[in-house]
């Protein structure tokens, strides 16, 4: 934001980034009566990384 409190929008041309995706599965935990009592979260190790595509200037 600028000093007046208005948002300032701009373009950053030289920022570097990458996306990292990790698969996560959530499994329901049920009691003997079949009622939901919680969740089991499992994170898997086969992470995918998507790097920034480099463009010539």
Contacts of 6 (CB under 8 A, 6+ apart): none
Q: How far apart are CA 39 and CA 29, in angstroms?
A: 5
pTM exceeds 0.85 for this model: no
Where do the structural domains in the chain lie, given as residue ranges? 18-51
pLDDT for 9: 66
Q: Per-residue pLDDT tens for 1-57? A: 555 656 666 665 666 788 999 999 999 999 999 999 999 999 998 999 988 887 666
Return the bridge partners of 51, or none: 18
């Amino acid at each position: 934001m600028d000093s007046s409190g208005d948002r300032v929008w701009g373009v950053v041309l030289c920022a570097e980034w990458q996306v990292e995706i990790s698969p996560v599965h959530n499994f329901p935990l049920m009691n003997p009566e079949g009622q939901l009592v919680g969740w089991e979260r499992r994170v898997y190790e086969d992470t995918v990384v998507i790097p920034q595509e480099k463009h010539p200037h």
